[in-house]
Structure 1
């Protein structure tokens, strides 16, 4: 979809405060839009699309506790080596 926006302008913003029970997610990310749309269709009591900015972005409202952030620590050299050896042993190519 051509929107006239540059990649830098196609952002994802997540808004919430400590008081309210809802999170607002504004995104142009295609995968995230699809995932949120599917979640909203399956669980309308927890998530809903509240706006479409008509430039390729959608805005969703989702209950706190339904959206999570996962922080992953960098792999150690030992773990990278072990994963590489396992992949070679099992015929996986990168």
Structure 2
């Protein structure tokens, strides 16, 4: 059975009393990032289970997870970022940081 995009959820589960966070996801990018993190830091993250449908569940140390809320960009800043992207391409911020560092 094939799942719809609406059925392919990402769920972040924890409680105030836990020291860990469970992340259940179908998202390919997030699965890749979690796998790389768990391989690099096995004492902080591990694959708990996976399903034939394509989901994975990772357990991470709670101190390693944060949720960041971003403010909307002003029209002025959006234009600056757009011009920078047109000039330097998709990785403009990385290239600009490299230029500043040298």
Total equivalences in the alignment = 90
- Give the structure-1-normalised TM-score: 0.83
- 1:30 corresponding residue in structure 2: 28
Structure 1 residue 28: deviation in Å? 0.3
- Give the structure-2-normalised TM-score: 0.77
Q: Tell me, which stretches of 5 or more residues in structure 1 are unaligned?
A: none
- 2:67 corresponding residue in structure 1: 69
**Aligned equivalents of 1:31, 1:51: Cα separation in 2:** 17
RMSD of aligned alpha carbons: 1.9
- 1:13 corresponding residue in structure 2: 11
